Amino acid sequence: MEYQRAWIRLRWLLLCLAVQLVVADAEFFKPFNVSYDHRALIIDGKRRMLISAGIHYPRATPEMWPDLIAKSKEGGADVIESYTFWNGHEPVRGQYNFEGRYDIVKFIRLVGSNGLYLFLRIGPYACAEWNFGGFPVWLRDIPGIEFRTDNPPFKEEMQRFVKKIVDLMQEEKLFSWQGGPIIMLQIENEYGNIEGTFGQKGKDYVKWAAKMALGLGAGVPWVMCRQTDAPYDIIDACNAYYCDGYKPNSYNKPTIWTENWDGWYTSWGGRLPHRPVEDLAFAVARFFQRGGSFQNYYMFFGGTNFGRTSGGPFYITSYDYDAPIDEYGLLSEPKWGHLKDLHAAIRLCEPALVAADSPQYIKLGPKQEAHVYRESMHAGNLNFSIYRSESSCSAFLANIDEHRSASVTFLGQKYTLPPWSVSILPDCKSVVFNTAKVGAQTSIKIVESSLPFSSDVSLNQQFSTENNGFHVTKSWMTIKEPIGVWSENNFTIEGILEHLNVTKDYSDYLWYITRIYVSDDDILFWEENNISPAVKIDSMRDVLRVFVNGQLQGSVIGHWVNVFQPVHFVRGYNDLVLLSQTVGLQNYGALLEKDGGGFRGQIKLTGFRNGDIDLSKFLWTYQVGLKGEFLKVYAVEENEKSEWTDFTPGADPSIFTWYKTYFDVPAGTDPVTLDLGSMGKGQAWVNGHHIGRYWTLVAPKDGCQKVCNYRGAYNSDKCAFNCGKPTQIWYHVPRSWLNDSDNLLVIFEETGGNPLDISIKLRATGIICAQVSESHYPPLHKWSLTRGSFDGRLSVNDLTPEMHLYCQDGYMISSIEFASYGTPMGGCQEFSIGKCHATNSSTVVSETFTRYNIAVTIGKEIKACLGRNNCSVKISNLVFGDPCRGIVKTLAVEARYIAFAVENLVPHLFVVRYGKVPHLIPHVLEKIDGAE
For position 192, which CATH number holds? 3.20.20.80
Q: Which residues pair with 52 in a beta bridge?
A: 79, 296
Whether the ω angle into residue 351 lies within 30 degrees of 0, i.e. cis, is no
The reply to whether 262 and 370 lie within a common domain is: no
Q: For the chain, how many structural domains are there in total?
A: 5
**Of residues 796 and 869, more confidently modeled:** 869
Would you state the pLDDT for residue 783? 82
Catalytic, 375? Answer no
- The answer, yes or no, to whether residue 925 has pLDDT greater than 90, is no
Do 716 and 771 lie in one domain? The reply is no
Omega before 418 within 30 of 0, i.e. cis: no
Instruction: Count Cα neighbours of 380 within 13 Å in the Cβ-side half-sphere.
Output: 0
Q: Which pLDDT does position 380 carry in this prediction?
A: 38
Query: Whole-angstrom Cα distance, residue 675 to residue 758?
Result: 6
Q: Does residue 863 register a pLDDT over 70? A: no
Predicted model pTM: 0.91
Tell me the CA distances in angstroms from 155 to 124, 131, 669, one per residue in order: 11, 21, 47
Q: What is the pLDDT of residue 460?
A: 42
My answer on whether 474 and 495 are in the same domain is no
Domain end among 625, 647, 673: 625
753-761 average pLDDT score: 93
What mean pLDDT is predicted for residues 632-638? 96
Task: Give yes or no for residue 816 having a pLDDT over 50.
Answer: yes
CA distance 681 to 816: 42
* Domain co-membership, 595 together with 683: no
Percent residues over pLDDT 90 in the chain = 81
Which residue among the candidates 190, 481, 750, 894 is catalytic per the annotation? 190
Same domain for 855 and 722: no
Confidence of residue 810 (pLDDT cuts 50, 70, 90): confident
Which pLDDT score, from 0 to 100, does residue 808 have?
87
Do the domain assignments include residue 266? yes
Residue 690 counted as domain residue: yes
In this structure, are 522 and 601 located in the same domain?
yes
- Contact between 395 and 364 under an 8 Å Cβ cutoff? The reply is no
Query: What pLDDT does 2 receive?
Result: 45
**Considering the domain boundaries, does residue 595 fall inside one?**
yes
What confidence score (pLDDT) does residue 267 get?
98
Measured CA to CA, the distance from residue 147 to residue 154 in angstroms comes to 6
Checking if the pLDDT of 194 tops 70, the result is yes
User: DSSP letter string over 753-798?
Assistant: --GGG-EEEE-EEEEEEEEEETTSPPPGGG--EETTEE-S---TTT
Could you report the per-residue pLDDT of 105-154, keeping only the tens digit for each?
Answer: 999 999 999 999 999 999 999 999 999 999 999 999 999 999 999 999 99
How far apart are alpha carbons 499 and 511 in whole angstroms? Answer: 10
| pLDDT confidence of residue 930 | 36
pLDDT at 385 over 90: no
Last residue of a domain, one of 609, 625, 641: 625
- Quickly state the pLDDT bin for 27 (edges 50, 70, 90): low
Residue 854 has pLDDT above 70, yes or no: no
- Tell me how crowded residue 681 is: count the other CB atoms within 10 A of its CB: 22
Helices (H) and strands (E) in the chain, counts: 14, 45
How far apart are the C-alpha atoms of 710 and 335, rounded to whole Å?
A: 13
Q: What's the confidence (pLDDT) of residue 276? A: 98
310 and 406 part of one domain: no
Which pLDDT score is estimated for 878? 93
- Which range (2-11, 138-147, 672-681, 833-842) has the least confidence? 2-11
The yes-or-no verdict on residue 529 having pLDDT over 50 is yes
Contacts of 297 (CB under 8 A, 6+ apart): 51, 52, 53, 54, 260, 262, 323, 324, 339
- Domain-ending residue, one of 559, 590, 625: 625
pLDDT tens per residue, range 666-708:
888 999 999 999 999 999 999 999 999 999 999 999 999 889 9
Residue 473: pLDDT band (50, 70, 90) is: low
800 with 875, same domain? yes
The answer to whether 331 and 71 have CB atoms below 8 angstroms apart is yes
Which of 323, 297, 298, 305 lies closest to 267, judged by CA?
A: 305
For the sheet with 442-446, list strands across it.
442-446, 764-773, 890-899, 811-822
Q: Quote the pLDDT of residue 821.
A: 98
Q: Which of 37-46, 362-371, 539-548, 809-818 has the lowest mean pLDDT?
A: 809-818
SS (H, E, C) 530-593: CCCCEEEEEEEEEEEEEEECCEEEEEEEEEEEEEEEECCCCCEEEEEEEEEECCCCECCCCCHH
Secondary structure of 386-417 as H, E, C letters: HHHCCCCEEEEEEECCCCCCEEEEECCEEEEE
CATH number for position 785:
2.60.120.740
Residue 85 CB burial class (10 angstroms; 0-12, 13-18, ≥19): buried
- Contact (CB, 8 A) for 147 and 158: no
Residue pLDDT, tens place only, 291-332: 999 999 999 999 999 999 999 999 999 999 999 999 999 999
Instruction: Give the confidence band of 926 by pLDDT, cuts at 50, 70, 90.
Output: very low
Catalytic residue among 259, 629, 749, 750: 259
- Mean pLDDT for 345-370 is 97
Asked if 488 is an active-site residue, the reply is no
Asked if the structure places residue 917 within a domain, the reply is no
Q: Are residues 346 and 234 in the same domain?
A: yes
Question: Nearest-CA neighbor of 85 among 72, 97, 67, 69?
Answer: 97
Asked if residue 408 is part of any domain, the answer here is: yes
CA dihedral 710→715→716→718, nearest 10 degrees, is -40
Q: Domain check: are 739 and 697 in the same one?
A: yes
Give pLDDT, residue 797.
56
d(CA 179, CA 32): 7
Which bin fits 911, alpha (ψ -120 to 50), beta or left (φ > 0)? beta
pLDDT per residue over 58-93, tens digit each? 999 999 999 999 999 999 999 999 999 999 999 999
Instruction: Report the chain's mean pLDDT, rounded to a whole number.
Output: 88
Q: Note whether 317 and 410 are same-domain residues.
A: no
The DSSP bridge partners found for residue 840 are: none
Looking at per-residue confidence, does 648 or 499 come out higher?
499
Q: How confident is the model at residue 454 (pLDDT cuts 50, 70, 90)?
A: very low
Residue 383 covered by a domain: no
SS3 annotation, 463-507:
CCEEECCEEECCCEEEEECCCCCCCCCEEEEECCCCHHHHHCCCC
Here the CATH number for the domain that contains residue 507 is 2.60.120.260
- Residue 794's pLDDT is 54
389-409 pLDDT tens trace: 446 899 999 999 999 999 999
Question: Which pairing describes strands 182-187 and 222-225: parallel, antiparallel, or unpaired?
Answer: parallel
Domain housing 41: 35-355
**Same domain, yes or no: 720 and 784:** no
388 or 24: which leads in pLDDT: 24
- Residues 885, 519: Cα–Cα separation, whole Å: 93
Q: What is the mean pLDDT of residues 652-679?
A: 93
Any domain includes 907: no
Closest to 184 (Cα-Cα) out of 342, 344, 40: 40
pLDDT for res 446: 87
Asked whether residue 451 is assigned to any structural domain, the reply reads no
Give 344's DSSP letter.
H
Nearest to 578 by CA among 614, 627, 628, 620: 620
Q: What value does the CA radius of gyration of the chain take, rounded to a whole number of Å?
A: 30
Cis peptide before 801 (omega within 30 of 0): no
* Percent of the chain clearing pLDDT 70 (strictly above): 86
Residue pair 153/611 in contact (Cβ under 8 Å)? The answer is: no
**Which has the higher per-residue pLDDT, 1 or 850?**
1
State the Cα–Cα distance between residues 98 and 544, nearest whole angstrom: 35
Residue-wise pLDDT for 275-301, tens only, equals: 999 999 999 999 999 999 999 999 999
Q: In the structure, what pLDDT confidence band is assigned to residue 94 with cuts at 50, 70 and 90? A: very high
